[in-house]
Amino acid sequence: MGELETKYKKGAEFPGQVMPAGNGGNILVTKIDELINWSRANSLWPLTFATSCCAIEMMATGASKHDWSRFGTEVARASARQADLIIIAGTIVNKMAPVLKRLYDQMAEPKYVIAMGACAISGGPFYYNSYSVVKGADHVIPVDVYVPGCPPRPEALLHGIMQLQEKIKKSKPILRRGAIEKFEEGF
Amino acid sequence: MTNEEFITIIRNWFPDVEIPEEDSQFLNVFVPKEKILEVAQKLRNDEVTKLDYMFNLTCVDWPEHFQMIYHLKSSEHGHMLVLKVKLENKENPEIETLCHLYRTAELHEREVYDLFGIKFINHPDLRRLLLEDDWIGHPLRKDYVDEINIVSL
């Protein structure tokens, strides 16, 4: 009797989920993935969205001295429909939370989130004694990169953007959605 | 107008106000609750004082009472004055509105109502300003309890 057979007895319900091999992993798909990731990572369009003092550092990051356009992030959009990166720069209060959620929902896929500063990460200085502050923006929307600081320096935000680019470059956009549902018909 | 002149003229007009001698930035005048509208009206409309601009309105929650604070300024003479009113009733604090004299007071009184729960009598539109309409309680009161959001140390 093999090891597997002793572990899973015949007739017992299979404990996992069957994942078809799919046609992922072939050379063409990985190369297309690389191309898509490269273009996405180097052309992040951030949303012009900021709620408190981190905004000043974010604006400094965009201004000439630090100049985030060196990383392909310069096209700050005033409309969520055109943006694919939201930098939560500042405190999110309970009244702002539904607005933030709506902005995130309005953004087209693929979309990325950077939580900038202590308030966006955990509520920061308002963690203990506040009736109005959300204790971390990740209670409202999913966050890709956390940038600590109060507020973080522009260098820290740039590092956060570079980390996000690293993350995007490791993603698999073609396999990301519908890999199992669309297995039969091919991609 | 200097503070000394203010003290003389206000004592002359309203003998029952209290003006403590303290070294503060502004001259503080403690007005009885019932007299606030009358005092503010006189200070605003009289040519000598002409305190026609309210630049701050706030409230303090003391252990035994609430205290309303009004910062007034004259745009013509440039002098400033602070009116303070004690609200003894901690359960149901009420005071006459000043928003018919100063338009600034309308929003500020809504804010104080929102966060301290002071009722402003004759206010035209007294509802919450900052918090949601269905909020329960007044969070800047010292006895406000919120076991979910406020972590007490």
Please report, in tens digits, the pLDDT of each residue of chain A (187 residues total): 566 566 656 666 666 666 555 554 555 667 788 888 999 999 999 999 999 999 999 999 999 999 999 998 888 889 999 999 999 999 999 999 999 999 999 998 889 999 999 999 998 888 888 888 999 999 999 999 999 999 999 999 999 999 999 999 988 776 655 545 555 454 4
Residue type, B84: K
* Nearest residue in chain A measured CA to CA from B150: A129
Q: Nearest C-alpha of chain A: how many angstroms from B143?
A: 13
ipTM: 0.74
A130·B132 Cβ contact <8 A: no
* Nearest residue in chain B measured CA to CA from A134: B149
User: Side by side, which strands form the sheet with B66-73?
Assistant: B28-31, B80-87, B66-73, B53-61
A129·B152 Cβ contact <8 A: yes
A129·B139 Cβ contact <8 A: no
Q: Read off φ and ψ for residue B96, nearest 5 degrees.
A: -65, 140
A128·B150 Cβ contact <8 A: yes
- B94 has which bridge partners? B119
Chain B positions in Cβ-Cβ contact with residue A133 (cut-off 8 Å) = 149
Please report, in tens digits, the pLDDT of each residue of chain B (153 residues total): 888 888 889 889 998 888 888 888 899 999 999 989 999 999 999 998 899 999 999 999 999 999 999 999 999 999 999 999 999 998 899 999 999 999 999 999 999 999 999 999 999 999 999 998 888 889 999 888 888 878 766
A164 and A85 Cβ atoms separated by less than 8 Å:
yes
Chain A positions in Cβ-Cβ contact with residue B128 (cut-off 8 Å) = none
Encoded tokens for A21: 């091999």
Chain A touched by B47 (CB under 8 Å): no
> What 8-state DSSP symbol labels residue A52?
S
B33 and B46 Cβ atoms separated by less than 8 Å:
no
Alpha helices in chain B (DSSP H): 3-13, 36-45, 104-116
Q: What is the DSSP string of A92-137?
A: -BTTTHHHHHHHHHHSPSS-EEEEEHHHHHH-GGGSSS-SSB-S-G
Q: Nearest C-alpha of chain A: how many angstroms from B139?
A: 7
**Structural domains in chain B, sorted by start:** 3-121 (3.30.460.80)
A79 and A110 Cβ atoms separated by less than 8 Å:
no
Q: So what's the pLDDT on residue A187?
A: 40
Chain B positions in Cβ-Cβ contact with residue A131 (cut-off 8 Å) = 139, 144, 146, 149-150
**What is the H or E stretch that residue A40 is in?**
helix A27-41
Q: So what's the pLDDT on residue A186?
A: 46
pLDDT digits (tens, 9 = 90+) for B39-62: 999 999 999 889 999 999 999 999
Residue type, B151: V
B54: helix, strand or coil: strand
Chain A touched by B139 (CB under 8 Å): yes
Q: Tokens 């269905």 sit at which residue?
A: B134
Q: So what's the pLDDT on residue A171?
A: 83
Q: So what's the pLDDT on residue A113?
A: 94
* Nearest residue in chain A measured CA to CA from B132: A95
